[in-house]
Amino acid sequence: MIICANPKAQYLSHREEIDAAIHTVLDKGRYVLGDEVRLFEDEFAAFCGASHGIGVGSGTEAIHLALAACGIAPGDEVITVSHTAVATVAAVELAGATPVLVDIEPDHYTIDPNRVEAAVTPKTRAIVAVHIYGQPADMPAILAIARRHGLKVIEDCAQAHGAEFAGQRVGSMGDMACFSFYPTKNLGAIGDGGMVVTSDPALAEKAKLLREYGWAARYVSYIKGWNSRLDELQAALLRVKLRHLAADNDKRRRLAALYGELLAGTPGITLPVERPQGRHVYHLFVIRSDRRDLLKGHLDAAGIGCLVHYPVPVHRQPAYEGTGFGSLEHTERAAAEILSLPMYPELPEADVQAVATAIREFA
Ligand SMILES: *Cc1c(COP(=O)(O)O)cnc(C)c1O
């Protein structure tokens, strides 16, 4: 059996360091928003090339909080994609805003800047650019549109810790950026967690207040906030894993290159396309086939676990009907053809070979 993602393998490969970090927290007796969170915020923000980090409860919360910190409120429109984890759109709704979902670039699966431009109205206040699968969106184009129309740009980096566009890390380009530490992400906790990063001190301050009841000092709310805190256990473990993140991303890239070599020229199979200026960190290795469901069945039968990220575009899901803007042709085609192959840093090369052989057999 070959599985698609394997967070336990990551624990096992750094077991002693992680166990020690966890026991330190247990012994110290401070369990929420303490030294570990503060240090992790500083270290992770620095890793991203940003100056402030605000640890929060999840990636969804990070996006919700970032939008709220930017002043996005009911009546405002936020442009993002339909081809994403539903969390991106859920967070826009949590902020009280109206999601306007546009199409993607067919090769890169990220938001199409031309579609963004066409969707701007007088109510538009922000763009959420999702760096899907580990590939950065076309940030220079997005930032140029935002400047022309006076919009905020929020990066959804939940699948792209360490990815780069023209040498700049994701998380350092928009007004604010949001990360998830869900266990299977490139930097994964042993539970839920997230972070907002920014280099704007005023936005950082606002996000910090919002995540804990609007408190500037204990028990006095200066603005209306809520509770979205990161805990010390997660932060301590994430500090350990952060030290290995660059090497783990390199391993993902090597495995992706191996898949690329083994699958090149396979009839009916389209491989992922990297942006020339981008550094893809392969949260997911996503191929395409116009016989996707049959291929998935073939791989399932061979004991190879593959997933579809995502089978139903958000605007086609019952809860979000009517959020699509214009033709979402590339989004809909992708949903029918994409397949995520097993990908995690500890995945043995022999497993990559077995997966490639099974795909070639099918083809
Ligand atoms: C995982 C994910 C999120 C949400 O993160 P959670 O921590 O699960 O709330 C948001 N956006 C994208 C693109 C994701 O992959």
Taking each helix axis as running N to C, give the angle between helix 349-362 and helix 292-301, from 0 to 180 degrees, rounded to the nearest 10. Answer: 130
Higher pLDDT, 217 or 18: 18
Condensed to tens digits (0 to 9), the pLDDT of residues 243-281 reads 999 999 999 999 999 999 999 999 999 999 999 999 999
Are 225 and 286 in a shared domain?
Answer: no
pTM for this model (two decimals): 0.98
Condensed to tens digits (0 to 9), the pLDDT of residues 103-144 reads 999 999 999 999 999 999 999 999 999 999 999 999 999 999
pLDDT band at 166 (very low <50, low <70, confident <90, very high): very high
The pLDDT, as a whole number, for residue 164 is 98
Q: Which atom of ligand 1 is nearest the CA belonging to 60?
A: 9
Length of the chain equals: 363
Q: CA-to-CA distance for 119 and 325, rounded, in angstroms?
A: 7
What is the CATH classification number for the domain harbouring 165? 3.40.640.10
The pLDDT, as a whole number, for residue 87 is 98
pLDDT band at 300 (very low <50, low <70, confident <90, very high): very high
The pLDDT, as a whole number, for residue 58 is 98
Is the residue at 225 inside a domain? yes
Are 119 and 220 in a shared domain?
Answer: yes
Q: CA-to-CA distance for 307 and 316, rounded, in angstroms?
A: 19
Q: What is the mean pLDDT of the segment spanning 320-331?
A: 94
Pick the residue whose CA is nearest to atom 4 on ligand 1.
59
Show which of 207, 239, 271 is a domain's final residue. 239
Tell me, in angstroms, the distance from the centre of ligand 1 to residue 91's CA: 10
Q: Which of 63, 156, 196 to mutate to test the pocket of ligand 1 (most atoms within 8 A of CB)?
A: 156
Domains: count for the chain: 2
Tell me, in angstroms, the distance from the centre of ligand 1 to residue 39's CA: 23
Is the residue at 2 inside a domain? no
| Ligand 1 neighbourhood includes 59 CB (under 6 angstroms) | yes
Tokens representing residue 100 in the block: 């306007």
What is the CATH classification number for the domain harbouring 298? 3.90.1150.10
The radius of gyration of the chain from alpha carbons, rounded to an integer in Å, stands at 20
The pLDDT, as a whole number, for residue 261 is 98
Domain boundaries, position 341: 245-362
Average pLDDT, the chain: 97
Condensed to tens digits (0 to 9), the pLDDT of residues 181-225 reads 999 999 999 999 999 999 999 999 999 999 999 999 899 999 999
Are 165 and 197 in a shared domain?
Answer: yes
Show which of 239, 259, 287 is a domain's final residue. 239
Q: What is the mean pLDDT of the segment spanning 38-48?
A: 98
Q: Which amino acid is at 338?
A: I
Tell me, in angstroms, the distance from the centre of ligand 1 to residue 180's CA: 6
Condensed to tens digits (0 to 9), the pLDDT of residues 59-75 reads 999 999 999 999 999 99
The pLDDT, as a whole number, for residue 1 is 93
Q: Which residues pair with 285 in a beta bridge?
A: 341
Are 192 and 278 in a shared domain?
Answer: no
Q: What is the mean pLDDT of the segment spanning 304-316?
A: 97
| Ligand 1 neighbourhood includes 88 CB (under 6 angstroms) | yes
Are 39 and 131 in a shared domain?
Answer: yes
Are 114 and 200 in a shared domain?
Answer: yes
The pLDDT, as a whole number, for residue 15 is 96
Look at residue 148 and give its three-state secondary structure. helix
**What are the CA-CA distances from residue 27 to residues 30, 47, 54, 322 (Å)?**
9, 28, 24, 51
Are 122 and 92 in a shared domain?
Answer: yes
| Ligand 1 neighbourhood includes 228 CB (under 6 angstroms) | no
pLDDT band at 10 (very low <50, low <70, confident <90, very high): very high
Q: What is the mean pLDDT of the segment spanning 85-110?
A: 98
Are 195 and 282 in a shared domain?
Answer: no
Q: Which atom of ligand 1 is nearest the CA belonging to 63?
A: 10
| 78, 102 contact by CB (below 8 A) | no
Tell me, in angstroms, the distance from the centre of ligand 1 to residue 314's CA: 14
Is the residue at 316 inside a domain? yes
pLDDT over 70, % of the chain = 100
Is the residue at 1 inside a domain? no
From the list 355, 315, 319, 352, the residue with the least C-alpha distance to 335 is 315
| 63, 85 contact by CB (below 8 A) | no
Pick the residue whose CA is nearest to atom 5 on ligand 1.
59
| Ligand 1 neighbourhood includes 87 CB (under 6 angstroms) | yes
Tell me, in angstroms, the distance from the centre of ligand 1 to residue 266's CA: 32
